[in-house]
Structure 1
Amino acid sequence: MINENLNIYLQALNSANSGIIITDNLQPDNPIIYCNSAFEKISGYNKDEIIGHNCRFLQAQDRSQAERQLIKESIRDGKECRVEIRNYRKNGQLFWNELFISPVKNDDGMITHFIGVQNDVTDRKKIEYDLREEKSSVEEKIQQRTKELMGKEAFLASIIQTVRESLLVLDSNYVVLSANNHFLSSFKVTQEETVGKVLFELGNHQWDIDTLKDLLTKILPTNNPVTDYEVEHHFQHIGKKVMLLNAYRIEFEGQYKDRILIAIEDITDKKELDRRKDDFLSIASHELKTPLTTIKSLIQLLQRMDPAKNPDQFTTSLDKVSIYIEKLNKLISKLLDTSKIHSGNIELHLEPFEIDKTIKEAIENLSVVNPEYEISFSGCTNASVLGDEMQILQVFNNLISNAIKYAPGSKNIEVYINTVGNFVKISVKDFGMGISHQDKIKIFERFFRASNIQKKYPGLGIGLYVSHEIIVNHKGTLWVESEVGEGSTFNFTLPVIKN
């Protein structure tokens, strides 16, 4: 009877039009343990990508919203709250979320869970904006707009909206007359925040640059365009980007009009890709050349040595050759793993294994190799997973190695394992330098290396990429929670075998 009632409740939740999630307040960081179909539809993520995450992942890099602090305080104080907050779907699309949060208490009055009910109110927000605009309009403004629609400027506006590039049209005072949808989508802003504003006051004053102002002031009187002007800036809502700006005076039938057309292209990824290619070629050649040079020197030494006269030295040199050959072999293996994953040829040898036992034994082995580090282990799942145990060990060992490598001032590493829904979740926490928000976006990409750590911590930038792809191939997720200066927690989930 209890199971029948439970199934009825779950079916009811899954049939609701509102997105519903349940988080476990008794586990670290309040992870999501349930979400209904409506939540998947609203967010664009499927259930397997959501379970185990904290709800704040929906705000992506838009972290300055006051509502985030209100939610944090409500959860801390165990109170209900209602907010309207900017969220982002899996494809990066902005939507407004009306969120209701309520605590769930057990018989002892302890808060064990939180229930969140979410509604997409983007259309309502747009209607409210449209109503405000309509209310503030006067007959003169309507007549002016009608005249514009009948003129050639309306024709230009219709073209601008179809272009897959961020475009702005300014008047002679650099006030934005129109912004196309691509601009609004790229910069995560609204018409209300853009149209009617001076260019140099948009966002967090990203275009308020003296040299750019000087170039723009010369466009109308001289008709000289601004070409390929780069702006590197930490933009509001979208973070640090490199934008390429071009500006032109608009001309119709030989008659100059006091209008400026600005085209903005996001070249962040292109610049980053070029940097990564250069860095990888330089690093890979250095990493491969170092053991080869050492091996060559040792071989030359062995060739000049008489084994009978110097048996100890001969044996020591051979041992060193073996060590450096092993280093070289590991580097080549990493590159081969990357190549196999990128081409889709990675092989999985799937067998059931006890995840608790696997992680515990791995920690024991790592503790022997790194006796100066204290690797603590807590939690228990008693679960079995179907997977390639050696590849899962490769992921875990890589996370521990990174925790050691990037936390030189700390000797403590915490490993926690628990069950979230139909998944096991493994967390590796260090107390090192932490990771910036901008780097977290790309940390699992192939060959990515944060520029500020490359000199101090050399590497090829493929370990986390390989780890991420292994977990994805096991139908799990791998992500990181981190703040600069406060350490990092890498988490990954794996589906459990249902009994």
Structure 2
Amino acid sequence: MQTDVSRRSYRRLPFLILLMTLVILLIGAVALHYVENRLVATTGESLALAAADIADMLDRLLFERYRDIPMMVLARVFQGRDPAAMTDYLDWVQKNYQVYRWLGVLDASGRIIAATSPASVGKDMSRTYLFRVVREQGGVHIQDVEVSEDAGGIPVISFAGPILDSQGKFRGAVLSQVALSSVQDVATAAIRTFQVQRGSTGKIEYQIMTRDGDLLVDSLLRQEMQVNLKLMALPSALLSASALPGYIEEQHLRRQVPVVTGYSGTEGYGDFTGLHWAVLVRMDRSDILAPIRTVLQNLALAGALIILPLLGFLLWTSGRLQAEYQRAREESARAVAAETTLRLRDRAIAETSNGILITDPHQPDNPIIYANPAFERITGYRMEEVLGRNCRFLQGADTDPSTVAVVRQAVAEQRDCHVVIRNYRNDGTSFWNELTISPVHDGRGQVTHFVGVLADVTARKHDEEAIERLSRQNELILNAAGEGIFGLDLQGITTFVNPAAARMLGWSVAELIGQPMHSILHHTKPDGAPHPEEECPIQAAFKKDGVVHRVADEVFWRRDGTSFPVEYVSTPIRECGDVVGAVVVFIDTTLRKEEEERRMQVEKLAALGQVAAGVAHEINNPLAGIKSAFLLLKSTIAPSHPYSQYVSMIDREIQRISDIVGQMYQLYRPDPAERRPIDLKAVLRDVSQIMAGLLRQHRLTLRTEVAANLPRVRLPQRDLIQVLCNLIRNAVEASRPASEICLSVAHGEDLVSIAVADRGNGIPAEVVPHIFDPFFTTKMGGTQGGMGLGLSVSRSLVEAMGGRIDVQTAVGRGATFTVVLPCHAAIASPSVRSKREQPHHV
């Protein structure tokens, strides 16, 4: 009966293989459908985010133009009656804000009196919607997209605001028009950025429409102002009026293919309510799924080449199994007889506590053909896991190769072998194996097998290793520790010290052993006062309270008399409950303190730079209006006017404010000029000419010294000139009248240095650490007043070039500022001069 059941099972095997293949294919189809849906959902969310980003950019673009109108109507030029001045101002605005397509000024009757397009002047705009609503309601108003003849017959968005006199009476209006193409540029840039980030190879379309569904921007068909998407019942257009961004799968109106569309709407910005446009960003569903379908095609090809032949092989194998089954039954009968003979021997071997294995050297790789239960207990491997394998699988990362070589040599020479070797169990843990290998001979004396006897001697080996480790533990800890460690007895005498402590203190280990440590390293406090032993926390740990003392801010003294900051812990050593001394562990905190100071300085500079940039931005906008108003006022004041002397003063002060704003921007974000090959000698000549007027004004002489064979370097010439002019200007302000300033250049193998030296009063030592801080200055009042940005900006520019600024000064001896630049910037060297250039004077 059992034979018939087995035979029927073999007949069903081909059908089972085919059924499993179909199940696998079905599972693959379901998984593919799920992956496609997740990919479409993820892409849809990305498209919705892209639409929301474009909507936000449009809100900000329109809000900025919306906020420009109140600033422009407050310009002083519009309180006068000079159309030419108004036109100049409008031209200036259009030049600096190129987003404007057209700007104009209307009088109280609605007639254009000034415009960026001369053809618009004189045109009557009194019946237009913007003029009427501004005149009647006041405030800033915006008009949705319409075609403007003044802007050259293109679609524009219009803004308008009233011009009021000092009594609040309506004098006219300012109109601005922004081309619709600017909106398209914003959307195109955002889509390109999105496509670069996504890495998509498919085409991305986008559309922008009004609240009513009129198409404003179409990236593909250019059907602007011709199509209403809501009237065409496009689902994404209808859903775009919802409050939140989203996406939808729909049919493309023109190509009738499935697409995924992300939608979002503009919401306004601040007090600007916006135009409530809608943004649609879409991709073809086929483009989204293209990557995964490419993978699917490759998998299908792989299946045709691999799985189908494999399936055929399995079917052929099942037929072979049916034939082999009959043959196996016959061999089984013979095996039963042999099994009875071996059973007794197996029981005897199974009872031993040592692991026993037998290998067959006549088979390839000398495999294991038998292992007893004790072998399984010791190694963790089951019988079926080891049979047919060479016993090298017991080896691991820490197995000694030389021991393995001894075993291999003994097997090769067919002789006995006894070794202790580190082997590994099935769970990855190691054990020490005392292994004995013996050859088995037949009646003719030929080796037929090898017998291996295993004994787990891990416990014994660990005991031996523990004894060895304990003998070296203290020495290894002391020698390997990066911290300084030393021990003291009850008299404060050094009992041990590690190399790190001796190295930090400047002594050798032998010189410190047996010495009183307090008088060597802890005799003086940080302020220079003596440090008595009775006040020492190190001594207190074993002489007073017997507790651990942790000190975070003290100094130790080196052999050469210098000190260094340390943190240390003094821990009492106890033996049988009694304190017998202390162990002190300390670290040198010099580097950490320096790093903390550098970090605090960097954070301070970053904060000051951000504040400076913000202040500069807030000053720059009203400064432009002030300068425009001043230029108009300047042209109306004749040289004979009693106040004409103040005109030039105002002009200089406006320029000075502009320079300060520029320095503030550069302090926050230095913008180095383009690097190009320059001749340092020519740069010094240019600097001398630039500073000549200031030097003559202060009756000073500039002497330059240029080293022979000076190389040409690749540096930003503009920034280098600015740095040198700043340093010379500081030297001029610090020098005594009729004295001399020296400007010198030298170079070595690695560096090029430019020094500016004066003979003034020098810089006090307490001031030197702060001279490069932004807004730090000692020049207060009169003509010497300053913002304290010159040296800070100079250092930023030099560091951007890869260099540094050093300063050497002493009170009463003047100061020398040296700009040090890396010499790897050198690109050529002029011919060697016969002698050093003679200094010249300015």
TM-score (norm 1): 0.49
Instruction: Give the structure, 1 or 2, with the largest relative contact order (CA under 8 Å, sep 6 or more).
Output: 1
Q: Which has the larger radius of gyration?
A: 2
TM-score (norm 2): 0.32
